[in-house]
Structure 1
């Protein structure tokens, strides 16, 4: 199964429940890339634009490349007021960018879907000299603050979470230095969320494998999750790490 367009089937839920990033992350990237009206940037797979607007507000020339048709139309409606907003519905791996070069290329999670040898080499080629590559995502820890509940949820996964294909995308961001990038660094910020059962289910329902979950497993799985959280006071605490990997083209 090609998971890459699975998220595109739920644009409204994706927009409502996927996590936003912190202001500190955007400030860091914007300062490192020295974004202004004269700079050009490329976002790989913006989805519904959870990470897009802070960059648009700098006035830079923004281009998003999005594989999903529904996501693309969603983005057009959402960011239509910005004259510096442009988006193309195509595959980053094969799209012909012509002579375009960028001062910043960034990805909020999406680059992990691109094979390393394509993702890192294409971004390197598409960047101007001195350009910046920024890759970021949120890593969620559901175990540390909920040991007993986590064990119950784990058992529910083992019993009812039956999907045809497992998500196996893994990208070693450290390997970016093997493709010519320099000044590679890692930064992170911490956040805490407290969700009730319905909020937690709505959030995990936007995870890649969960979207593909079929009946009768789907109802059994989510009913089990809801009951487990209700039993501990209808609350689950999640510790989030917002992770940023950033590098330069010399």
Structure 2
């Protein structure tokens, strides 16, 4: 799909903007994790695909030993700077699939809007091996949508996507729908195939409002948008900003956050 860059490395080309614009996760989500498993200073935790650490701090604040696995070199360095005061924090730069971890060595493995980059059979099997008996895998993600309440601005942006994004990637737009409970339930059942039990899923919602410039900055952190040729991307973003400013100057994103929990027997 990417023209010049491997998509799961494109985030690393805009690490500072990524850190500024990508959202954190709601407190209720972490409460569900901590209700499901007790994390203490004696716990060993691995985060898969840490990015710039949007999901990291609430776990680190438990006092646990946390190892972040991040593919991007710039993002890895940003993580070291951001969480350098935590003596129980370390970063491994590389693909999760390529890094060796001792069997039965972790209490919690978690991944925030990143685990989809890893082939299912490799990812779940590896996490299962890493966890101690009773250990937990927490997979969660943020699913943004601007089309929950169709309006003139959302329709204009959809037309711009047809003109620039979908024509660039030579594919049809299809019907966009907000992330559903059925999708979360489907993801939550995957770990069962790899030996996990005690499956749960939870959904959370929120709204975020962006100015035209802020929204364009956010789009510039999306891997498939970064991978577009610069001239096409810049014109595309400029047209989106013009549309937002014409239609009142702000745009609302409706987030659905899903959390899937599974335990190793």
Task: Say yes or no: does 1:28 pair with 2:43.
Answer: no
| 1:164 positional shift | 5.6
Cα distance in 2 for partners of 1:6, 1:100 equals: 32
| 1:140 positional shift | 1.1
* Residue 118 (structure 2) aligned to one of 114, 119, 137: 114
Call closer, same or farther: CA 1:35–1:136 in 2, change over 3 Å.
Answer: same
- Superposed counterparts of 1:42-191, under 5 Å: 42-99=46-103, 101-161=105-165, 163=168, 173=187, 174-191=189-206
SS at 2:241 equivalent: helix
Q: What corresponds to 1:232 in structure 2?
A: 247
Tell me the matched-pair count.
247
Task: Say yes or no: does 1:216 pair with 2:220.
Answer: no
Deviations 1:149-180 (A, max 9, x none): 211111111112254698xxx99623221111
Task: Say yes or no: does 1:207 pair with 2:211.
Answer: no
* Residue 256 (structure 2) aligned to one of 238, 241, 246: 241
List 4+ stretches of structure 1 deviating above 6 A: none
Contact 1:198 1:226 in 2 (8 A): yes
Q: What corresponds to 2:212 in structure 1?
A: 197
| 1:133 positional shift | 0.4
SS at 1:97 equivalent: coil
Cα distance in 2 for partners of 1:151, 1:235 equals: 15
| 1:100 positional shift | 6.2
Contact 1:163 1:214 in 2 (8 A): no
Cα distance in 2 for partners of 1:165, 1:87 equals: 38
Cα distance in 1 for partners of 2:220, 2:19 equals: 12
Cα distance in 2 for partners of 1:178, 1:99 equals: 19
Unpaired runs of 5+ residues, structure 1, are none
SS at 1:10 equivalent: helix
Q: Using the TM superposition, name which of 218-227 and 237-246 deviates more.
A: 218-227
Contact 1:143 1:150 in 2 (8 A): yes
Cα distance in 2 for partners of 1:44, 1:194 equals: 29
TM-score by length of 1: 0.93
| 1:241 positional shift | 1.0
Unpaired runs of 5+ residues, structure 2, are 172-182
Cα distance in 1 for partners of 2:31, 2:93 equals: 28
Cα distance in 2 for partners of 1:148, 1:228 equals: 9
